[in-house]
Structure formats: C-alpha cells, structure tokens
Amino acid sequence: MIFRKVLLTGALLGIAAAFAAPAHAQSQAQCTKNQDAAVQCFAGYALKTGIFTLHYGMTATQFNSYGVAASKIIQTPQTNLIVFGMASAVADAMPPTNADGTVNQTAQTNAMNAIVLAEITSGLITVPAETSQQQLQWFSLDMATAMDANKGILMSPGTLLRIVDSYVVPQTVNGSVNWAVVNSNLATMVGSLSTLGLLKLPATMTTAQVTTFAQSLALSIYDYKVTTGRSAL
C-alpha cells in the first residue's frame, strides 16, 4: 500500500511540469471526503502553485479528471504493470527521433497510442473505472516522455519490442512486409514460450490474447519505423 501511494504521487508529479491557470482551493473537509476528492485537491493545489502545467490541450477541469484517472490506473495492478512496462519499452526502443537524429515526437506519440489501443483490444488490460481510453493513452505517453531522458539502464526495457521487430525485419522487402509469415511466426513464438513455461500468464489471460497483442505490436513498430525512417529498432 505504501508503495502504491509513493507510485501514485510520483505518477501525478510526472504528468506535467507547471499549470498556468489558477485553481479554486477546496476545503479540508472536501479534500478528505474520499480518494477521488483527495486527488482532485492535490491536482488543484498543484495547479494553483505552479507545480503542473496544462498540456494535451486540457482545461483545469479535465486535468482534475485526469488526476483521478491516473489514481485508478495505479490502483489496478495488471493494468498499471503493463502500462508502465510498455511505456518504458517505448521510451527505450522507440524514441521521439528520426533515424538522422532529428526530433519526431509525433512518431512516438502515435506508437504509444497504438500500443495502448492494442493492449485494450487484445484484452491484456482493462480500462479502470472513471478512466477513458484517451486518458490511458495520455498517461502512457506521459510515462514514456518522463523516461525518454533516462540513461544508463542495465537491461534494455525495449528488448520485447526489438524481439518482435526481429520477426518483421527479415520479412520486409522494399518496404513491403509479408504479414502472413510475420503473424504466423509470432504465434509460434508465443506458443513456444508458453509451452516452455517462459511465458507465465494470469488465469484471466490466454495465449491467444498475447498473440493478438504481439501481432498488433508488430504493426505499431512497422508504422513507427516508416515514420522515422528506421530500418530496425
């Protein structure tokens, strides 16, 4: 529980940099009414004191809702683990830069949004209460953005994405991908990992769901490479 509280505070602090618009202070009684009210008060006071900044075109009211959504994501174990893990992987393997080093934030944003959508549609994660798909995408991108500058890691969190890409690269000829072969090979990979016991799934998840997600990841990776001019991650 203490870990979750620390993680929640860190996540909310990492959501933005500094809010420009003033916030309406809430009474102590309102702030302690329930968890959602406490988060909204935190967001409101952070906005008022300039800790956070408005981004993604949000209004102050939308940011309060986003803060509540972030708390719900943090309190949903499987969802927060996958979201944080994939955001870390994207920050490592799919940076917001082109092959020539020029900035391309749109490429990373599109990749992260596509991956979150794949997480949802494949059933790997559930959208928590009081949380929308858009808020999950914002949250994931915020985490990836916060980790973009992370250097000196011992083990690359983007390894999973590079493994999936290793199935796409050999099937790519003149920019055209043989997706039938890629999807078949990814299905075989997932099945083998499951058979060998290297892929341990919760009781609520099937290998078919993981296969669907892996195939969606391959598409997201390919689109990212096309956008950035990279031949591989």
pLDDT in tens, 72-85: 898 888 888 899 89
Q: Which residue has the higher pLDDT, 12 or 85?
A: 85
pTM over 0.85: no
Domain boundaries, the chain: 2-74, 77-143+152-233
- What is the DSSP secondary-structure string of 108-158? HHHHHHHHHHHHHHTTSS---TT--HHHHHHHHHHHHHHHTT----SS-TT
Whole-number pLDDT of residue 28:
58
Q: Which residue has the higher pLDDT, 176 or 48?
A: 176
Residue 176, CA distances (Å) to 99, 165, 218 in order: 19, 14, 13
pLDDT in tens, 106-165: 999 999 999 999 999 999 999 999 899 999 999 999 889 888 765 545 557 788 899 999
Burial 83-121 (b: 16+ CB within 10 A, else e): bbebbbbbbbbbbbbeeeeeebeebbbbbbbbbbebbbe
Q: Would you say 164 and 186 are in contact if contact means Cβ atoms under 8 Å apart? A: yes
pLDDT in tens, 182-214: 999 999 999 998 888 878 888 888 999 999 999
- Residue 195's Cβ-count burial label (10 Å; 0-12, 13-18, 19+) is exposed
